[in-house]
């Protein structure tokens, strides 16, 4: 069975790409390149899925929302 997962990707202060899968608890990986991150996150997802099988159904990914904060309003 094929399942889709969303990966949230950031670049850390050392230049590494860090990916996290919000649908799976503690499921994250890193890589020096996007290709390396992609390979690493696939492996980690498989490990996380093995762990999750005993924990019940996976949460449904709902989405990402952009929130804008006015810095001037928070610094009177």
Residue 3 counted as domain residue: no
Q: Is residue 28 part of a domain?
A: yes
Q: What is the pLDDT of residue 7?
A: 94
Question: Is residue 2 a part of any domain in this protein?
Answer: no
Q: How confident is the model at residue 66 (pLDDT cuts 50, 70, 90)?
A: confident
**pLDDT surpasses 80 at 26:** yes
- Of 3-7, 17-21, 65-69, 70-74, which range is least confident? 70-74
Considering its fold, how many domains does the chain have in total? 1
- The token pair at 48 is 């996380």
| Mean pLDDT (whole number) for 24-46 | 96
**Gyration radius from the chain CA atoms:** 16
Q: Which residue has the tokens 């860090």?
A: 18
- Report yes or no on 57 lying in a domain: yes
C-alpha 27/C-alpha 44 separation (Å) is 7
70 inside domain: yes
Rounded CA separation 10/50 (Å)? 25
State the pLDDT at residue 73.
63
- Which stretches within 1-76 are classed as H helix? 34-52, 71-74
Residue 12 lies in a domain: yes
Q: What is the pTM of this model?
A: 0.73
Q: For residue 68, what is the domain's CATH number? A: 3.30.160.250
Domain that holds residue 32: 8-74
| pLDDT of 25 strictly over 70 | yes
* Residue 36: Cβ-neighbour burial (10 angstroms; 0-12, 13-18, 19+): middle
Q: Is residue 50 one of the residues assigned to a domain?
A: yes
């Amino acid at each position: 069975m094929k399942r889709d997962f969303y990966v949230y990707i950031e670049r850390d202060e050392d230049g590494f790409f860090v990916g996290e899968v919000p649908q799976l608890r503690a499921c994250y990986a890193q890589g020096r390149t996007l290709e390396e991150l992609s390979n690493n996150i696939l492996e980690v997802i498989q490990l996380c899925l093995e762990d999750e099988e005993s924990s019940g159904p996976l949460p449904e990914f709902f989405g990402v929302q952009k929130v804008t904060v006015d810095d001037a309003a928070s610094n009177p």
